[in-house]
Structure 1
Amino acid sequence: MPTLADVIAVLEARYDPGLAEPWDSIGLVCGDPDVAVRRVLFAVDPVASTIEEAIEARADLLVTHHPLFLSGVHGVPASDPKGRLVHRLISAGCGLFVAHTNADRARPGVSDALAAAVGLVETDPLEPADTTPLDKIIAFVPTEAAQLVVDALSEAGAGAIGDYSRAAFLNAGIGTFIPGPGANPVIGAVGCVEEVAENRIEMVLPRSRRAAVVEALCAAHPFEEPAYNIVGLASLPSTRQGIGRIGALEQPQSLREFAAHVADGLPATACGVRIAGDPDKEIRTVAVCGGSGGSLIETARSAGADAFLTSDLRHHVVSESRENSGLALLDATHWATEWPWLPAAARLLRRDLSDAMIEVIVSARRTDPWNAALQATSTQEAPDGGGQLW
């Protein structure tokens, strides 16, 4: 049975904390890392209804996209609304873990799930993130110990390249040295020239793992003074990770048809999907961003999108976009654009923990704060027929 710490390690491997915005509050909010986890519930929001749902389901862990706390707190008294939620979770023995902007940038992440829900293929990041800062470690190891050292460096976090692990380059050569008066050499004698058949080992590593990898090298290397150096690598825009996604529809559609497809592909909400654009416009290339993506409108237009699906769009931003570009805009609710991530993330966690006896479920509670919408009953039409329902 996996512990909470085991499950968190799997989640953070999928949703690297290093991808989160500096202002974000992610990770474990409450819970004992040593407790066994039998059931996990995924939800968008850590609110009273989903917390009660998790407790009723006897979940040991609630994973939410949105943080419970976005700013620092000095206490969580039960008299405070959010403090009351923390006390409820702790009393029930249910942990809370948050994957927010790190899940937005990860691949597969929030916008990948949204893109799949509306039928996009061959997607790329709309706004690529800088790659995780990387180092390269170059170590010189006696040939017979090389594979053991590669194993140790890999376990410490080196050698991960995309979907591959324990990636290393080894090159054979001869190392030479003279042990000094204070040395206690494993091979050779003090004051004498020694030559050893060695491998030069090169592996990349996240810069955040530098200390751990060096420690692992020193522990695994047979020499008392391992020869190594570390080189910082240049950061490049990621081809995998970033905010939003842009891709193509399998077949072109009119904006009217695509909007209907979006409405069918997202969970129902009181507000539905708002559309700004010519209903007959042909849509081939689509950009999406789960959650608030108004700041990416120009990015979507510059990337060649015919339409951009996101949420929380403001009047003036939409008005200026319609005046200055042909980009069609689709505005669903914040909750609806992020909900598709829940079943996608749940499937990945089941797969990652397939050898463990763990149940992963998705919240059935709609936590979109907008719970009703009314259409105007006036019979007076706007001069251009605006406000029509398609």
Structure 2
Amino acid sequence: GALIHRLIRGGCALFTAHTNADRANPGVSDALAGALGLTGLRPLEAKPEPATDKWVVMVPSDAADTVRAGLFAAGAGALGNYRECCWSTTGTGQFRPVDGADPAIGSVGDLERVPEDRIEVIAPRRSRAVVLAALRDAHPYEEPAFDIIELADLPSDRGLGRVGELPQTRTLREFTADVAAALPATEWGVRGAGDPNRPVRTVAVCGGSGDSFLGLATAQGVDVYVTADLRHHPADEHLRAGGPALVDVAHWASEYPWCAQARDVLDRAFADRDGWQARVSELRTDPWTTAAGAVR
């Protein structure tokens, strides 16, 4: 709180990055993977793409353009960098109005067959109420016929952790030394768990505390998992169960490579602003300040 008040007095904006940076692409684990030279990155725990519905709407052909326009205005029909996307075909709709109906076409009691367009569009599931209201407002029928189909969740390139490949196979002992050389030095150091001579090529990483993903790392079939704040019992049980080797680094060191990445993102966004300058603070926030020599 005191820091926020100080920033306000100094006229400084504040953007706080935590899980938002962990899940982003690029994000914390991308930067860690990049520092270790990994390629072919994919999320360790992929975040799904936003939930999507497919709307199928039947509408008289002469009112189809009006209904399409209403759906598009409500946010339907967006596909990547494209807008007003839909698919349409023409068929024959049939209905018989009964007592109490107020049909836009035909008469109560009479069977009607009408040329209709079948319109298919996608829309974010969160916009369902807005799209439904737009559909009812634009459609000429008092009871429009439509389907809402919930599409399957698809993995995105965002999510926690990353899995990638080393340029060449290393032993766990060699790789542990590589990690120590790639990250800022800390009193915590870098520790490896598993057979020191185990060959490693496929690597999972998770910046920050990542022992909750030990099972995911095993399921991904990686050779080694790099993260921070590993605890004795989870690590021991993981290895006894046949999981991949582990490399444990300091929490601060695992996240620090992201700072330069974040600076580059800002530079790309604001470099054309007069007087723009971005730099990474050299203040070390690792809480560990001293350590005794390892006992062998």
2:120 aligned with 1:201 = yes
Distance 1:319 1:362, change over 3 A: farther
Alignment match, 2:242: 325
Query: 1:238 Cα deviation (Å)?
Result: 2.1
Q: Identical aligned pairs, as a percentage? A: 38
Q: Distance in 2 between matches of 1:194 and 1:355?
A: 61
Q: Distance in 2 between matches of 1:352 and 1:216?
A: 36
| Structure (1 or 2) with the larger CA radius of gyration | 2
Alignment match, 2:87: 170
Residues 179-328 of structure 1: pairs in structure 2 closer than 5 A: 195=114, 198=117, 200-205=119-124, 207-215=125-133, 221=138, 223=140, 227=144, 229=146, 231-233=148-150, 235-236=152-153, 238=155, 240-325=157-242, 327-328=244-245
Query: 1:293 Cα deviation (Å)?
Result: 0.6
Q: Is the 8 A contact 1:146 1:199 kept in 2?
A: no
Give the root-mean-square deviation of aligned CA atoms: 3.9
Unaligned runs of 5+ in 2: none
Q: Which has the higher contact order (CA 8 A, sep 6+)?
A: 2
> Structure 1 length as normaliser, TM-score?
0.59
Query: 1:347 Cα deviation (Å)?
Result: 3.7
Distance 1:370 1:351, change over 3 A: same
2:56 aligned with 1:138 = yes
Which of 95, 101, 125 lines up with 2:43 in the alignment? Answer: 125
Distance 1:308 1:353, change over 3 A: same
Distance 1:196 1:237, change over 3 A: closer
2:252 aligned with 1:335 = yes
Distance 1:324 1:182, change over 3 A: closer
Distance 1:233 1:311, change over 3 A: same
Letter in 2 for 1:110: V
Distance 1:280 1:140, change over 3 A: same
Task: Report the 3-state secondary structure (helix = DSSP H, G, I; strand = E; otherwise coil) of the residue aligned with 1:127.
Answer: strand
Cα deviation, 1:66-108, whole Å, max 9, x if unaligned, reads xxxxxxxxxxxxxxxx2x2232233333343444324323433
How many residues of Structure 1 are paired with residues of Structure 2 in the alignment? 288
Cα deviation, 1:274-293, whole Å, max 9, x if unaligned, reads 22233332111111111111
Cα deviation, 1:103-148, whole Å, max 9, x if unaligned, reads 3234333222222221112222223345543322334563444764
